[in-house]
Amino acid sequence: MTSFKSSDEMRRAKELEEARKAGLAPAELDEEGKEINPHIPQYMSTAPWYLNSDKPTLKHQRNWKQQMEDSSQWYDRGAKVFQATKYRKGACENCGSMSHKLADCLERPRAKGAKFTGKHIAADDKIQELQLAGWDSKRDRYNGYDTKEYAKVVERYEQVEAIRQELKGREQVEALYQQGKEAEAAAAAAAAGNGAAADGSGQGPDDAKIADDEDAAFGEVKKRVRTTAGGSTGSVRNLRIREDTAKYLLNLDANSAHYDPKSRSMREDPNPNRPANEKTFFGDNFVRNSGDYTTWQALNLHSMQAFDKGTEVHVQALPSLAEVMYQQYRSKKEAMSSSSKQEVLAKYGNSAQKAPDESLLLGQTEAYVEYDRTGRVIKGQEVKKRSRYEEDVLINNHTAVWGSWWSDGAWGYACCRSCVKNSYCTGKAGEKAIVESGAQMVKNLEAKAARAAEEAEARAKSTLSNKHLEKGDGVWGDAAPAADEELDPEKVKAALKKLEKEQREAEAAGGDERKRKFNSVADDGDGQGSVSAEEMEAFRLMKRRAEDPAAAFGAGTDGYDML
């Protein structure tokens, strides 16, 4: 924490700072003894007040975050930490190591484990927990890669390349030697023969052409290395054909198929929307559907279906058993398919085959048959008539052919009396069941007819007219009331008075139909919606019978009463 300074102290500090910048005074040292650059601004070199720094320092400007340097951390492969001399509790029962259990032991299974013998105890492996904290170190695919191993690969490749160059040089020397011998032999033959001069250079192979046994070196690319002292050419082995477009350049969209630079693989299709005839690369996953992949997929499917149906089989647990069962399944399936195909061909024939020779159809026989004028056989075996339908063919366990039974206009089997052609024979039990079902059907029809008659009779009785006649019998008709029916005299008198009143009102109206009241059989308040027996009796008493000669008072008696 800085203390208060006077004006003289501030002036002297300013002069010292200018002298340090000019190089006249030595630079200021921090708490660690390192020089502080005097040209650093004060707002950067001055520590904050909350650090309580009494000495000049630049520590607060350094990166205070912890550096995660874990890119070089990896497992110490094959390291051993302790070699025990006797078996310890909890160790592997096979080798005696405390690093793993019996199920994870990678050593050879012993006849008697270290738990029982106490000898040859394996050393404990070094167990490490690699905690990679950095983002890059977690995703670094080359973490743990040993460059010394690859140096061995390069060394081996260089040795092979040196041997190849040596062999190629020997072959060139032998070719030149052979070429010279051929030229000398040709020249000698020309001189001894016709004496014509022969050009030895034309007898050798054409330099512009490449022999079949020579390497065209198409895989090599001449590359010029540019340096400050000059240039030199060297041979660099090509990794791919330069005319082909790289996988990662087929689609430059960042959201397209992922390219793995270490394995140089692009598993997905970079251009899935383009038609197949316009692209040459479909992704590296196409190799998964080639070779024995389809067979392996069919084997897995067969094992899963067999396991679902109760068979104890598993591809990973019992691969040999699964393979044998699949082979047996395929052989049986092919045999069944072949047999069914032969049956179909035998039944319907094969139209793709060539028709047989017509002469074979007109074959001759030594059988003698003599016929009379009507066509009947006199001597010899009678030829059976062939029908277009199948004869003597028993199916579905039937003991009789179809059509051996006839009942009620339907054909059937005589063995079980079944009238369904595709039915299975049930024997006497089926015959008995058919008889019982026929009797039951007759009973059901009779019961149905009886119920229909009863329903028709009930409907006839429950019609509106029948109901009305039953309720008003002897009231509206001419039939007399029942003998046991008694009429109330008071009600008869009241009905007579009512009728007389209606007649007087009609006479007072003078026969005007417009003043006549409306007659209705509706409820008059007595709880009855129809004419009662007393009202009907009053109507009969007041009714005029003009056609009855004895109805008028004193009619036909000339003043004498009829006794």
For 283-295, write each residue's pLDDT tens digit. 998 888 888 888 9
Count how many domains the chain has: 5
DSSP letter string over 180-249? HHHHHHHHHHHHHTT-----HHHHS--TTS--TTS---TTEEEEEEE-SS-EEEEEEE-SS-TTSPPGGG
Average pLDDT over residues 406-434: 87
* Cα separation, 30 vs 40, whole angstroms: 13
Average pLDDT over residues 213-228: 50
Q: Classify residue 299: in a domain, yes or no.
A: yes
Tens of pLDDT, residues 55-94 = 788 888 887 766 666 656 788 888 999 999 999 999 999 9
Q: Classify residue 378: in a domain, yes or no.
A: no
Which tokens hold the place of 333? 């399936």
Shared domain check, 270 and 250? yes
Tens of pLDDT, residues 465-508 = 555 555 544 544 444 555 556 788 888 888 888 888 888 887 77
Residue 143 scores a pLDDT above 60:
yes
Q: Classify residue 327: in a domain, yes or no.
A: yes
Domain span holding position 422: 390-443
Which tokens hold the place of 272? 């899935």
Average pLDDT over residues 204-230: 49
Judge if pTM exceeds 0.85. Answer: no
Shared domain check, 286 and 315? no
Last residue of a domain, one of 156, 178, 200: 178
Nearest alpha carbon to residue 68 among 141, 131, 150: 131
Q: Classify residue 381: in a domain, yes or no.
A: no
* Cα separation, 155 vs 15, whole angstroms: 66
**Strand, coil or helix: what is 11?**
helix
Q: Classify residue 285: in a domain, yes or no.
A: yes
Last residue of a domain, one of 443, 467, 484: 443
